[in-house]
Amino acid sequence: MGLWHVFYADWQMECCGTPFSVGDEVSWPLLLLDADDVYGGSWHDQLTKVAGSVEYVGGVRLVREETGLTVALGGDPDAEVEPGPEPRGRTRSVGLLSVERHGAVWPQVAGRVRAVQVLSQGYAESAPGSRSWEPVPGERSLRPVEQCPKWFADDAAEQGRRRMESAVVVTLEVPGTDSWLSHAVRTARGMPQQGTEPGAETQGIPAEALTSLLESLSTVRSGRNPGPAGRPRRRA
């Protein structure tokens, strides 16, 4: 079983989602987004790497990851595409694995929720008095919760700044896969990478201890980095 960080945007949950808790079995349509297009980029542990063959199914570009995960690729991800006949080639992509409930029919991925963190994003007023807000790249924080909220909170604006609960970051354990994150957990637990079966990293450890370990492997960088806003402006 592989462990994957999944980004679940607030508006996706508020519009069409069903709240879930740590330990729940879920099935979500997943899309790999260009991380620079999400709140201006500057992401850290939440990045996902996929490598595998590309197929076009119903107009959707899918990657069948070498370790078993199948996800859709966003419009123009930061990917190196190896030569190959259409509709099949190969890709290596790094981005944010995201729940997407709109647009095309995306591939469903089933797994168990192992950790949930609410992401608070910093916003700045685009112009004084405009009441239009743009995300500040890299200005975000995470807090652990047992259950994903249905509705997300906004702080009051103060001197042209505010913070908004803008998503949850979920650690999803998916059968039949392996990942960067699974490798990191094996390393943290002192397990050898060679000869250790995928999924062994979540065995023999209490659920609470596993959740705490996963939270320690999902952090954000402090500070602000320049970059384009990655989300349509929001109005108060």
Q: pLDDT tens for residues 2-59?
A: 999 999 999 999 998 899 999 999 999 999 988 888 888 888 888 888 888 888 887 7
The one-letter code for the residue type at 216 is: S
DSSP the chain: -EEEEEEEEHHHHHHH----BTT-EEEEEEEEE-GGGSTT----TT-EEEEEEEEEETTEEEEEETTS-EEEE-SS-SEEEEP--TT-EEEEEEEEEEE--SSS-PPEEEEEEEEEEEEEEEEEESSTT--EEEEEEEEEEEEEESB--SS--BPPPBTTEEEEEEEEEEEEEETT---HHHHHHHHHTT--STTPPTTGGGSSS-HHHHHHHHHHTS----S-------S--EE-
Residue 105, pLDDT score: 77
Q: What percent of the chain is predicted at pLDDT more than 90?
A: 36
Query: First vs last Cα of the chain: how many Å apart?
Result: 42
Q: What's the pTM? A: 0.82
Calculate the average pLDDT of the chain: 82
Distance CA 69, CA 112 (A): 14
Domain boundaries, the chain: 2-76+89-169
Query: What is the average pLDDT across 136-165?
Result: 85
Count Cβ neighbours within 10 Å for each residue of 4-43 and write b for 16 or more, e otherwise.
bbbbbbbebbeeebeebebeeebebbbbbbbbbbbbbbbb
The model's confidence at residue 158, banded by pLDDT at 50, 70 and 90, is confident
Contact assessment for residue 38 and residue 96, using Cβ atoms and an 8 Å cutoff = yes
Residue 88, pLDDT score: 58
- Residue 95 pairs with which residues in a beta bridge? 48
Residue 14, pLDDT score: 93
The model's confidence at residue 189, banded by pLDDT at 50, 70 and 90, is very high
